[in-house]
Amino acid sequence: EGRYLQVCTLSGHSGEVNSVAFSHDGTRVVSGSEDCLLKIWDAATVAEIRTLRGQSGWVSSVAISSDGTRIVSGSLDRLVKIWNAETG
């Protein structure tokens, strides 16, 4: 019928969320926000796993590598950063 059901809500950023990405296996979600942070979430439990700090501008784009080991972020600080998905 064209209806979509919300499964859960991830809450924890203090600024607007600009970008989100699912890991290829569906177990993790990464979000990037105007609070200059990236957050890694467990998609099943909706628990925040880790916060990545290091961008000095709003995070405008996030992506996860196909093997799930790296996260890439782009920010208004004009930097692209590659992160280790397990350690930050």
**Considering all CA atoms of the chain, what is the largest pairwise distance in Å, rounded to the nearest integer?**
44
CB atoms within 10 A of CB 80: 11
How much is the pLDDT for 2? Answer: 66
What single DSSP character describes residue 43?
Answer: T
Cβ contacts of residue 3 below 8 Å, gap of 6+?
none
**pLDDT digit string (tens) for 62-72?**
999 999 999 99
Residue ranges in the chain whose pLDDT is less than 70: 1-2, 5-6
How much is the pLDDT for 1? Answer: 58
Identify the residue whose tokens are 């993790």. Answer: 28
How much is the pLDDT for 14? Answer: 87
Cβ contacts of residue 9 below 8 Å, gap of 6+?
46
